[in-house]
Amino acid sequence: MSEFTYETASADETRALGARIAALLEAGDVVLLHGDLGAGKTTITQGIGSGLGTARLAQSPTFSLVVDTPLPNGSVLRHIDLYRLNDLDELEALGFEDLTNDDSAITLVEWPERATGMLPERYLLIELEPSGTDRRSIRLRPFGLGDRFAEELGVGI
């Protein structure tokens, strides 16, 4: 399986990478964002959002675990942040499996490890790791999504 690693030197560079990734996403896709607090999951989400044509997204869904933002093309950008998830019952009550199995939405999930066992089979995994104060190592690993990422992202940022 192909994978691509980028190094960004600022939050804006991470947003720019997000916008490039956005151009490759299709309705029905799920993007899992893996990384510690402050790694840049919400920042790259903002870039993906602006690439998809929404105004910059809020910091993170603060009061709810899920925020849907309509996209200009009629589909929806669904931002799920499981940081405040209490237990798996709550995930079930949320309808997590249906939310991440929705052909009319592009779904981004922060803290996907809190939903182990309920994750979809096909997804783009984005792993973010600090590599200096303002530097982040960002690894993309598409699972079951064909080779559309290879063609566009294979040649450096």
Q: Residues 8, 14, 42, 43: which binds Mg ion (CB under 5 A)?
A: 42
What, of Mg ion, ligand ADP, none, does residue 75 touch, CB below 5 to 8 Å by kind?
none
Cα separation, 69 vs 54, whole angstroms: 8
Residues 106, 42, 114, 94, CA torsion sign: negative
Residue 13: CB minimum distance to ligand ADP, A: 6
Which residue of the chain is nearest Mg ion when measured via CB? 42
Give the binding site for ligand ADP (CB under 6 A).
8, 10-11, 13-14, 35, 37-43, 110, 134-136
- Closer to ligand ADP by Cβ: residue 7 or 97: 7
- 41 counts as binding Mg ion under rule CB under 5 A: yes
Name residues contacting Mg ion, limited to 99-128 (CB under 5 A): 110
Cα separation, 73 vs 83, whole angstroms: 29
